Amino acid sequence: MSSSARTYRGTPRNLALLARRIRQGELVAVPTETVYGLAGDATSRASCLKIFAAKGRPSSDPLIVHIASIRDLGRVAVPNAAALKLARMFWPGPLTMILPKMPAVPDEATAGLPSVAVRVPSHPLFRKLIRLSGVPLAAPSANPFGYVSPTTADHVRKSLGRRIQHILDGGPSAIGLESTIVDLRNPSRPAILRPGTITRGEVARALGVPVAKSRRSSGAGGRIAPGQMPRHYSPRTPVIVHARLNPAAAAGKKSDAWLFVSKPGTRRGSNVFWLDARGDLRRAARRLFSILRELDDGGFRRIHVERPAGAGLAEALRDRLLRASST
């Protein structure tokens, strides 16, 4: 896709300019430590509607509201003791909390829900932009609806460059997977709605209560909650997830790509790839979306992926692979 978007480096002058554009109701693609987001003034109905239009996202799928500091939480949400505890522990960082919303957040941001998803991101350029804008910023991942999330400015330019005007380049996302989402509407029964690099175990230890696993329904009147859409993060090429991959199979099927968690010892061909040479899951998470995009552009008929085993971060990786998969 050719591009009409301009890419900006994070100079003070550019940040001031982009903050003005946000206040004027325009959208800016922004770097975050998780994935790139498409940001607009969360308090403006028109800006929120523009975000949905640019992504081709159904208006029933609510946005995440980003604030610069825990001090601003009360502007957008009604916190409880559990939320404050998690915020102090994990913000700024890749943790999003679902809480009752304040009236400053319009229905257009929350898809009509009485709750809001909120987080303080840690990427310094994004936080500066929020501060300079003076408003909370609504930002979903900056990908066309249903496609793989972007982890570089170039990913954003390639897939949304014709639909947006401004891209702030803050380098590759350090984490590479979207934030962990925890539902805290009922603080005595927290639940993970989307697994991420902050694990269910860490949230449970911080709160001192059990935390429910990814639920398949938000309990919000049958609406679709995070990632409840099948094939949410999919490449165009069919993705097939396997509990185990045999390197020998790759040699027999050159038309397909084979993506291992770590570097296979033998039989490596030009259609064999791995997430990290030593199978380090943090590094694997950082590279997953960009490898999926590369393989999607590589002309393969199918992409076979090995499923990482274990708890914690592996859970988040399995979640994204399952959503990318066609089976």
Q: 87: closest CA among 260, 201, 203?
A: 203
Q: Which of residues 115-144 bind Mg ion (CB under 5 A)?
A: 141
Number of residues that bind Mg ion (CB under 5 A): 1
Tokens encoding 301: 């008929």
- Asked if 304 contacts 256 with a C-beta cutoff of 8 angstroms, the reply is yes
Nearer to ligand TXA, 113 or 261 (CB): 113
Contacting ligand TXA (CB under 6 A), which of 113, 182, 207, 211?
A: 113
- Name every residue whose Cβ is closer than 8 Å to that of residue 65 and which is 6 or more positions away in sequence: 42, 76, 77, 105, 109, 116, 117, 118, 119, 136, 137, 138
169 φ, ψ (degrees, to nearest 5): -90, 115
From edge to edge, which strands make up the β-sheet containing 303-306?
239-242, 303-306, 257-260, 272-274
Nearer to ligand TXA, 55 or 304 (CB): 55
Task: Using CB atoms within 10 Å of the CB of residue 109, give its burial: 0 to 12 exposed, 13 to 18 middle, 19+ buried.
Answer: buried
Contacting ligand TXA (CB under 6 A), which of 34, 43, 159, 197?
A: 34
Binding mask 148-167 for Mg ion (x = CB under 5 A): --------------------
Nearer to ligand TXA, 185 or 304 (CB): 185
* Helix/strand/coil for 68: coil
- Asked if 295 contacts 235 with a C-beta cutoff of 8 angstroms, the reply is yes
Q: Applying CB under 6 A, does 116 fall inside the site for ligand TXA?
A: yes
Q: Applying CB under 5 A, does 214 fall inside the site for Mg ion?
A: no
Q: Applying CB under 6 A, does 153 fall inside the site for ligand TXA?
A: no
Compute CA 202 distance to the chain's CA centroid, rounded to the nearest angstrom: 19
Compute CA 58 distance to the chain's CA centroid, rounded to the nearest angstrom: 17
Q: Applying CB under 6 A, does 35 fall inside the site for ligand TXA?
A: yes
Considering only 81-89, 220-228, 252-260, 283-291, which stretch makes contact with ligand TXA by CB under 6 A? Answer: 220-228
Q: Which of ligand TXA, Mg ion, none binds 151 (CB below 5-8 Å, type-dependent)? A: none
Q: Applying CB under 6 A, does 32 fall inside the site for ligand TXA?
A: yes
Considering only 62-70, 157-165, 269-277, 292-300, which stretch makes contact with ligand TXA by CB under 6 A? Answer: 62-70
Could you list the residues that contact ligand TXA (CB under 6 A)?
Answer: 32, 34-35, 37, 61-64, 94, 96, 98, 110, 113, 115-117, 121, 139-141, 178-179, 181, 193, 218, 225-227
